[in-house]
Amino acid sequence: MTHRIDFQPDPTNYKHWNVSYDGPVAQLVMDVDETEGLFDGYELKLNSYDLGVDIELSDIVQRMRFEHPEVKVIVMQSGKDKVFCAGANIRMLAGAEHAHKVNFCKFTNETRNTYEAAEQDSGQKYVAAVRGSCAGGGYELALACNHIMLVDDHTSSVALPEVPLLAVLPGTGGLTRVTDKRKVRRDLADVFCSVEEGVKGKRAVDWRLVDEVVPNSKFDEIVATRATEFAAASSKDDVAQGVLLTPLDRRFAEDGSVSYSTVEVTADRAARTVTVTVKGPDEDAPADMAAFQAEGAQAWMLRCARELDDAILHLRLNEPELGLIEFQTQGDPDRVIAHEKLLLENADHWLANEVLKYWKRVLKRVDLTSRSMVAIVEHGSCYAGVLAELLWSVDRSYMMLEEFEGDNRPMATITLSEANFGLFPMSNDLSRLETRFYGTPDSVDALRDQIGTSLDAEEAETLGLVTYAYDDIDWEDEVRLFKEERASFSPDAMTGMEANLRFAGPETMETRIFGRLTAWQNWIFNRPNAVGPDGALQRYGTGKRGDYNMQRV
Amino acid sequence: MTHRIDFQPDPTNYKHWNVSYDGPVAQLVMDVDETEGLFDGYELKLNSYDLGVDIELSDIVQRMRFEHPEVKVIVMQSGKDKVFCAGANIRMLAGAEHAHKVNFCKFTNETRNTYEAAEQDSGQKYVAAVRGSCAGGGYELALACNHIMLVDDHTSSVALPEVPLLAVLPGTGGLTRVTDKRKVRRDLADVFCSVEEGVKGKRAVDWRLVDEVVPNSKFDEIVATRATEFAAASSKDDVAQGVLLTPLDRRFAEDGSVSYSTVEVTADRAARTVTVTVKGPDEDAPADMAAFQAEGAQAWMLRCARELDDAILHLRLNEPELGLIEFQTQGDPDRVIAHEKLLLENADHWLANEVLKYWKRVLKRVDLTSRSMVAIVEHGSCYAGVLAELLWSVDRSYMMLEEFEGDNRPMATITLSEANFGLFPMSNDLSRLETRFYGTPDSVDALRDQIGTSLDAEEAETLGLVTYAYDDIDWEDEVRLFKEERASFSPDAMTGMEANLRFAGPETMETRIFGRLTAWQNWIFNRPNAVGPDGALQRYGTGKRGDYNMQRV
């Protein structure tokens, strides 16, 4: 594999961010090393970023929650003079393949969503303290914070100059957050997104683009005051000791397979499919949260989430031709339920909360992965509680019915838990069961009666929990035919179809970002006006504007 | 202009549809003439359709409501043996330019939405009586009906074979209506959209794809019974006499300008802008609805809606390079209010209801037009009531402030009416004022106090009703600079930006179709897997499948 992108940076050696801690307030300083781009061919000038910069940010945000639960306020600032952040690096975008652009945007969007939700999920509030130019993806970094402060120095501004300058959209949530989160009046949003130089000073507050402007001379002081105030007002419990996120136990093989302690990734390049097998816990659940915390990153519920998360990201960025992900589980369903139960019963414990919220994010990451996905429920599997969510994340599912000759594993079952009824909402804010039974909401209520029951294939099919149940005679052919069929379809059509079918019903700001905004951006990323030889991205920095075909569609 | 597409077909000479009336039940028979395609190079076999077929359907649906208010149930059937409708013609799609494909889909979507809403808006219920193959766009025709009946004859089926067969999406609402309207379980939807041959018989009911299946031998009888039952159950008032939609008064000039009786379209090709001036009524409002009905299609409120609708469609399909639409109005605002008032006060009169509902559709058509739009509020203008909606349909607005030298027209004002507070919802189901003030809902309530007041530019700007108010000194430069700026941007980026900013807040099935579904389809319409020389669209009918790049993005 050429240049595998690694989503596990070394936290002792970040290249682009400095983090410092002082009780409940952390300082997060963006100071991009322009020579340390993830690929060759561009320099990360003016605090512009590429995927490598965002991988570090994502890691920091994650560690903030597990390793630094004492933190209640995070102040995001720039380590450069005169510029907060210039946004995604244009030369990187201009040189990147379409698929990389799309996956880069998806990952940065997920990172923005994660720290945006940190206040509600974990009581960690992000404050953007903006000094200097804050443009494009830079302003989108700030938009995902919970509070935006802008220095009033006659030059510092916020801007979304993508449309006039680059002929692409502010696609990392920019357009959606301006209207839906900041609730900027749509004609003012139109003006704002059309002016390269952006908006500064009082007008930025009047237009709702920032929460406050602060005189330059008092900026550091007022930022510090605000951080202290927010920390004091926080309802987050005081937690003295976090949990260290130790390095993942993983091995990459030549053939594309990856082994983690609880996740096995097996690629079949010829068939363009990959099997992701999640292994249930081997040990009994910790006795209490003290024991869980003592296990730390080795506790199965946390370890498995981290490994599955890493596996999904690896497949997305490094294995674009493995078009079908086949989920399997193997293990003892009762043990899965027992491990989960400890957290459910202690959901007000900070660490239990963090682990459950992390599973929410990992499962959303699965939903948003633009690969066809199927869950295979074999004998010996452990689709129980949180792992059962995989059944309804995927596009369809197949379950073994009755005994299979020569298969001595325990018969395939599915076990629901309380967690399946709202603890892991999708981006559309519905549970996976609510989304699945969007047409028959009563079915969801009825399923509550099944909590804790080992449901066999016939029951699971009748209850609508799996798509198909097949016995020994039909199983192999049906699963094989499905995989062959899926592998023969156009990947683009699959992506479009799945993006529509997976998110039935109501939309949220999050689904609007991944649905409406991203779909338009991907369209633009295919149009010559942006990416062609005379398009704006290629011409950026040459002093010449893009040469556009002026036909509207 | 080469081959101007005309949205005013001759109702005495439809080529593709037969309509017959029998009291409250109308029969709408699709019987496409394969030799009468809108363009050369394809034959409309198997009841497949192109834009010309849909223009006739749209015209029929419109006339049904105005000319045949006695109709309560419309039965849509096929005039062909063995096929209901094979969907959009593939050779037409394969040969069409990207912009035509996109606008074709938009118009067909608008037509589907129109007859889908006819039951709620006007008490006209559409029933699809499906015999034979009903595939792709054919099933989408049925999906937009309020009731779907399928013959149970072992061969008739409903299908969405676009993904496996053509590597594109069921983009005329298909994916969205399957999950959001029919509420098909998402894994079953995934199966359904993957099988070329579709689903038939009882399974089609079980999966919620149709409302009932009917034995072949009793099909005609049960369809007739169902129509009679629906008509009897209808709460629609009995109306004896409709209003004839007489031909539009319009003249096309060589330079691209078009003159209607109440709408003037003036193109500036060099600047790539077009001015659409709506002229207020010259005459006093009719005294009552009897007088209004006597005026019929000549009544200003109806005439103006028809002309504006036609002008917008003309610009969309025939003038792709006129990227900026500048709306103007000229006339007496009090007269506009008076004409509108008659309808508002008689909103329970069938014709008043129809005209108001038609304005709702026309204004939605404006919202969905992928051109930059600006409203210019000059002295002498009449942005009052329904015409004021244009101010908030557009991306931004400029208003003349105070007196202008040498301009003797009455000072520019804006007049709100009750109609601006919910009578003309956008696709997102919010009024344009609610969408505009999404961040400050109290502002909308406060605006109610202004109903009937002539608001000058200063007041209008303070209330947030216009973007900018400029006096004589700045006006010309500011408006010119805006137009030049807009004309310099990439049309694609504008389309994407406007599609995001115009529809803040909640999503509906309709916005999901035009936002999420359409954006993904447009992306796919740019991808080689669909439209390249070896893509599925080009290879359709050759016996060879598309040769796909298998990389997922």
Interface check A491 vs B, CB under 8 A: yes
Both structure tokens of A169: 């959209």
Residue that is written with structure tokens 């037409």 in the block: B92
A195 shares its domain with A318: no
- CB within 8 Å: B185 and A524: no
End-to-end Cα spacing for chain A: 40
A164 contacts B485? CB cut-off 8 A: yes
Both structure tokens of A383: 């689709």
Residue tagged 């009291």 (tokens) = B23
- Cα–Cα distance between A47 and A79 in angstroms, integer? 9
Strands (E), B197-313: 212-215, 250-252, 258-260, 263-268, 273-279
As given in the structure block, the two tokens for residue B118 are 């006819």
Does A548 contact chain B (CB < 8 Å)? yes
What residue in B sits closest to A317 (Cα-Cα)?
A: B553
pLDDT at B527 over 80: yes
Least Cα distance to A293 among A240, A371, A247 occurs for A240
- The pLDDT score that the predictor gives to residue B1 is 38
What span, in angstroms and rounded, lies between the C-alpha atoms of A113 and B274? 41
| Interface with chain B: mutation pick from A175, A197, A428, A516, highest number of B CBs within 10 Å | A516
ipTM rounded to 2 decimals: 0.94
Within a 13 Å sphere around the CA of A170, how many CA atoms are in the beta-carbon half? 34
Quote the mean pLDDT of chain A. 96
B403–chain A nearest CA distance, Å? 25
Burial class (CB in 10 A: 0-12, 13-18, 19+), B296: middle
The residue among A58, A15, A37, A46 whose CA lies nearest residue A310 is: A58
B512-524 mean pLDDT: 91
Residue A543: band (very low, low, confident or very high) from pLDDT cuts 50, 70, 90 = confident
Comparing C-alpha atoms, which of A176, A482, A261 is closest to residue B438?
A: A176
- Any CB–CB contact under 8 A between B507 and chain A? yes
Flag whether pLDDT at A52 surpasses 80.
yes
| CA B236/CA B231 separation, integer angstroms | 9
Q: CA A404: distance to chain centroid?
A: 38
DSSP B420: G
Which residues of chain A does B497 touch, with a Cβ-Cβ cutoff of 8 Å?
163, 169, 175, 190, 193
Cβ pair A390, A374 in contact under 8 A: no
The residue to which tokens 């903006």 are assigned: A130
Give the separation between CA B381 and CA A458, rounded to whole angstroms: 70
For B191, the enclosing helix (H) or strand (E) is helix B186-192
Lowest mean pLDDT among A427-436, B2-11, B284-293: B2-11
Looking at the fold, whether A187 and A316 belong to one and the same domain comes out as: no
Phi, psi of B431 (to 5 degrees): -70, 160
Q: For chain B, state the CA radius of gyration.
A: 24
Q: Three-class SS of residue B310?
A: helix
Neighboring chain A residues of B429 at a CB cutoff of 8 Å = none
Rounded to whole angstroms, the Cα distance separating A411 from A380 reads 6
CA B177 vs CA B108, B181, B461: distances in Å: 14, 5, 41
Supply the range of the domain harboring residue A404. 250-500
Judge whether B522 is closer than 8 Å to chain A, CB to CB.
yes
Residue B434's alpha-carbon distances to B5, B362, B442, B446, in angstroms, are 35, 19, 10, 12
Q: Are residues A322 and A428 in the same domain?
A: yes
Rg (CA), chain A: 24
B407 and B468: one domain?
Answer: yes
Whether pLDDT at A1 is above 60: no
A306 phi and psi, to 5 degrees? Answer: -65, -40
Contact yes or no for A489 and B168 at CB 8 A: no
Report pLDDT for A325: 98
Residues 6+ apart with CB under 8 A from A210: A130, A142, A148, A149, A150, A158, A204
Contact between A358 and A343 under an 8 Å Cβ cutoff? The reply is no
Give the total residue count for chain A: 553
Torsion, Cα of A425, A429, A430, A436 (10° steps): -90
**pLDDT over threshold 90, residue B505:** no
Cβ–Cβ gap A552/B519 under 8 Å: no
B295-304 per-position pLDDT tens digit:
999 999 999 9
The 10s digit of each residue's pLDDT in B402-428 is 999 999 999 999 999 999 999 999 999
Classify residue A540 by its DSSP letter: T
B 368-397 → A contacts, CB under 8 A: 370-371, 394-397
Same-domain status, A381 and A260: yes
**Residue A103 sits at the chain B interface (C-beta within 8 Å):** yes
CB-nearest partner of A395 from B190, B371, B394: B190
- HSE-up of residue A500 (Cα within 13 Å, Cβ side): 36
Inter-chain residue contact B180 with A504, CB threshold 8 Å: yes
Asked if the structure places residue B526 within a domain, the reply is: no
**If pLDDT is split at 50, 70 and 90, which confidence band does B2 have?**
low
Place of tokens 């009937």: B452
Confidence check: pLDDT of B22 > 60:
yes
- The answer to whether residue B419 sits within a structural domain is yes
Q: Is A462 on the interface with B (CB under 8 A)?
A: no
Here the tokens at position A282 are 């081997």
In a domain, B305, yes or no: yes
- How large is the average pLDDT for residues A426-444? 95
What are the tokens at B119? 């039951």
- Residue B427 located in a structural domain: yes
Q: Quote the CA–CA distance of A98 and A105 in Å, as a whole number.
A: 11
Which DSSP state fits A150?
A: E
Strands (E), A378-492: 383-384, 396-400, 414-415, 454-455, 468-470
Domain stop point among A203, A231, A259: A231
Residue B480 touches partner A, C-beta closer than 8 Å: no
Look up residue B176 and give its two tokens. Answer: 């969205």
Structure tokens that stand for A71 in this block = 């933190």
CA distance to A100, A320, A496, A541, B502, per residue, from A521 (Å): 13, 19, 13, 21, 16
The 10s digit of each residue's pLDDT in B378-393 is: 999 999 999 999 999 9
Contact A114, A126 (CB under 8 A): no
Q: Looking at the complex, does the CB of residue B499 fall below 8 Å from at least one CB of chain A?
A: yes
Tell whether A463 is within 8 A of chain B (Cβ): no
> Is A536's Cβ below 8 Å from some Cβ in B?
yes
**Are B176 and B35 in the same domain?**
yes
| Residue with tokens 């038939």, as numbered in its chain | B200
Q: Does A238 fall in a domain?
A: no
For the stretch B87-133, pLDDT in tens is 999 999 999 999 999 999 999 999 999 999 999 999 999 999 999 99
Residue B444: count of CB within 10 angstroms of its CB: 19
- Which tens digits make up the pLDDT trace of A159-210? 999 999 999 999 899 999 999 999 999 999 999 999 999 999 999 999 999 9
Residue A518 clears pLDDT 60, i.e. is over it: yes
Beta-carbon separation of B180 and A505 below 8 A: yes
Mean of all residue pLDDT scores within chain B: 96
Domain annotation covers residue B38: yes
Please tell me whether residues B262 and B387 are part of one structural domain. yes
Q: How many folded domains does chain B comprise? A: 2
Which H/E stretch holds residue B84?
Answer: strand B83-85
Whether residue A544 lies inside any domain: the answer is no
d(CA B331, CA B382): 5
Amino acid at A155: T
Q: Are residues B327 and B421 in the same domain?
A: yes
Distance separating alpha carbons of residues A51 and A97, to the nearest angstrom: 13
CATH code for the domain in which residue B415 is found: 3.90.226.10
The strand pairing partners of A73, in sequence order, are: A25, A125
pLDDT value of position A2: 58
Asked if residue A186 and residue A263 are part of one domain, the reply reads no
Q: Which residue has the higher pLDDT, A539 or A27?
A: A27
pLDDT tens per residue across span B310-336:
999 999 999 999 999 999 999 999 999
Query: Is the same domain home to A221 and A326?
Result: no
* B492 interaction partners in chain A (CB closer than 8 Å): 167, 523-524, 527, 529-530, 553
In this structure, the answer to whether residues B115 and B88 fall within a common structural domain is yes
CA B196-B202-B205 angle, to 5 degrees, is: 85
Contact A485 B99 (CB under 8 A): no
Chain B environment of A503 (Cβ under 8 Å): 516
Question: Which residues in chain B (13-72) have CB-CB distances under 8 A to chain A?
Answer: none
Query: Helix axis angle, A51-66 relative to A350-367, nearest 10°?
Result: 150
Q: Tell me the count of A-B CB pairs closer than 8 A.
A: 293
* DSSP structural state of residue B419: G
Q: Which residues 257-316 on chain B approach chain A with CB closer than 8 angstroms?
A: 272
Q: Determine which helix (DSSP H) or strand (DSSP E) holds A477, and give its type and residue range.
A: helix A475-488
Strand B212-215, strand B147-152: pairing:
parallel
Contacts of A217 (CB under 8 A, 6+ apart): none
Q: What share of chain A is helix, strand, coil (3-state, %, to 5)?
A: 45, 15, 40
CB contact under 8 A, B437 and A169: no
Residue A9 lies inside a defined structural domain of this protein: no
Helix or strand (DSSP H, E) at A345: helix A333-345
B150 plus B43 within the same structural domain: yes
Instruction: Convert the pLDDT of each residue in A206-262 to its tens digit.
Output: 999 999 999 999 999 999 999 999 999 999 999 989 999 999 999 999 888 999 999
pLDDT tier, B551 (very low <50, low <70, confident <90, very high otherwise): confident
Residues 6+ apart with CB under 8 A from B374: B324, B325, B326, B327, B394, B395, B396, B397, B398, B482, B483, B486
